[in-house]
Amino acid sequence: MGCYRTEAMSETISTQLSEKLETLKALFAEMDRALIAYSGGIDSTLVAKIAFDVLGDRALAVTAESPSLLPEDLEDARVQAAEIGIAHEIVQTHEMENPNYTANPVNRCYFCKSELHDTLKPLALERGYPYVVDGVNADDLSDYRPGIQAAKERGARSPLAEAQVSKLEVRELAKWLGLPWWDKPAQPCLSSRFPYGEEITISKLRRVGRAERYLRHLGLKNLRVRSEGDTARIELPPDQIKEFVRTTDLPALVTALQSYGFLYVTLDLEGYRSGKLNQVLPLAALQSS
């Protein structure tokens, strides 16, 4: 079943954004056939939607399943792909077998995306898709994203970045196109919850995943559980911290997270901020110089 705009979603978009949408459509028309690296996040979901609208059955969305992906996020990807109508497949990736990845260096994402695109590119060529595309947007290019380099080295294209679509514009376009997940919080892989240099293991990923599921079931959406040794550090939007402390059964929360394998449970008083663990990068660069 397809996903379509309704009268309730008929607000207009700017001329500039409309032109960017037409650019995106033209890019896919030129490709003729495309395989989408589809995580289920709003960026790759928008790419999958536009690709399907233009190419129909000549577009394929592929999601990589690994221990760093929450099962709920995999299920979301399935549901969203079915709603859009695009063909969807799941492949296994094995980044956890690469010590360069599990050692969690500052360029960890390079090894993750290398594994992803080393899996997707042969699949695309085998199925007759000349292009693998991802959901990298224009804002991502100004952030520290070593995975982008890995994707480019393997010939992947980033239509959103090519059309200069920002993260805010991604959400605006998704809403205008009738995607009910247009305001879905960003949910990067679970490996992003660990400070650089701390080894990543499957058991650590599982306990982080279980902790975040617990908090989601409390009705929270924008959150992170950072894993630092045996400590779970909960990050919430700053304006939600007081209400969270006032209304949450904190002893039950601590008991639950300890049962998952954490010894200590803390709350980050600064609050959630995307890419917070990257704030150590300038210091690391100075120390290595």
* The architecture CATH gives domain 190-288: 2-Layer Sandwich (3.30)
* Domain-wise residue ranges, the chain: 7-176, 190-288
Amino acid, res. 62: V
Look at residue 47 in the predicted model and tell me its pLDDT. Answer: 98
Look at residue 281 in the predicted model and tell me its pLDDT. Answer: 65
Per-residue pLDDT tens digits of the chain, which is 289 residues long: 455 443 334 468 999 999 999 999 999 999 999 999 999 999 999 999 999 999 999 999 999 999 999 889 999 999 999 999 999 999 999 999 999 999 999 999 999 999 999 999 999 999 999 999 999 999 999 988 999 999 999 999 999 999 999 999 999 999 999 999 999 998 889 999 999 999 999 999 999 999 999 999 999 989 999 999 999 999 999 999 999 999 999 999 999 999 999 999 999 999 998 766 666 665 444 344 3
Full DSSP string of 225-259: EEEETTEEEEE--GGGHHHHHHHS-HHHHHHHHHH
Q: Which two tokens stand for residue 102?
A: 């599990």
* The architecture CATH gives domain 7-176: 3-Layer(aba) Sandwich (3.40)
**Pairing between strand 224-228 and 231-235?**
antiparallel
Look at residue 177 in the predicted model and tell me its pLDDT. Answer: 96
Look at residue 186 in the predicted model and tell me its pLDDT. Answer: 87
Full DSSP string of 100-155: HHHT--TTHHHHHHHHHHHHHHHHHHHHT--EEE----GGGGGS--HHHHHHHHTT
Nearest to 66 by CA among 93, 102, 103: 93
pTM, 2 dp: 0.89
**187-230 residue pLDDT tens:** 889 999 999 999 999 999 999 999 999 999 999 989 999 999 99
Look at residue 274 in the predicted model and tell me its pLDDT. Answer: 72
